[in-house]
A and B are shown apart, each in its own frame.
Chain A
Amino acid sequence: SQTIHQWPATLVQPVGSPLSLECTVEGTSNPNLYWYRQAAGRGLQLLFYSVGIGQISSEVPQNLSASRPQDRQFILSSKKLLLSDSGFYLCAWSVSRGVGTQYFGPGTRLLVL
């Protein structure tokens, strides 16, 4: 069966510091991968998606970047965090785009102070 991992679970970082959140998927090959953010009182906002190694699409202009160095690894980064980057970050995977279900990881709660 497939599983998706995210770490860390919780992170408190000062403004201006760098960020690296990691997501890995097990039990599947060539998944489509996604990064979402859920800000307080808001829905799920798609930040990035990837259909393969090194292929990243950005949905919204922002202070964050994403990379996919390996087939089942997806990394969310920032060089300098802003207060507005605080939120709950979720990684998800799907078998294919355009059809069906995405499966989410446990999430990372990021607080920027």
Chain B
Amino acid sequence: DQQVKQNSPSLSVQEGRISILNCDYTNSMFDYFLWYKKYPAEGPTFLISISSIKDKNEDGRFTVFLNKSAKHLSLHIVPSQPGDSAVYFCAAIGGRSQGNLIFGKGTKLSVKP
């Protein structure tokens, strides 16, 4: 039972345009959501998070949107840069996850110059 789903394994975007990475979840008890960025052969790096009491959180070029009724969140990167090329993981916590982060399988973003 996959509680956090990233249905797009890959995404290709032109430099300067917007990248939109999507994530869906099934557990309505999740109350905190995070995005991590991962380069090959490195550990994931925390990018941005959002609490379930908010619907938007912004940090520089990165914005996370949360739609609780749809159980959907998205990460917007504007403008996209070649250095943003990485695998992005969505994660959620709360409820029966018992304090553990539940990760999606990741989306590989390629930003082309």
Contacts and interface: CB of A to CB of B under 8 A. Distances in A.
Contacts of A49: 99-100
Given A44-B89, A59-B100, A107-B42, A101 B105 contact: no
A71 to B, nearest CB: 19
Interface of B: 32, 34, 36, 41-46, 49, 89, 93-94, 98-101, 103-106
Contacts of B42: 106-107
13 contacts: A32-B99, A42-B105, A43-B103, A46-B100, A59-B100, A90-B43, A92-B43, A97-B99, A97-B100, A98-B98, A99-B93, A103-B46, A104-B44
Interface residues of A, number: 23
A88 interface: yes
A20 interface: no
A109 interface: yes
A99 to B, nearest CB: 7
Given A43-B89, A43-B106, A44-B89, A102 B101 contact: yes
A49 B34 CA distance: 19
Nearest to B101: A102
A97 B93 CA distance: 9
Interface in A74-92: 88, 90, 92
Given A90-B43, A107-B43, A100 B32 contact: yes
A88 B32 contact: no
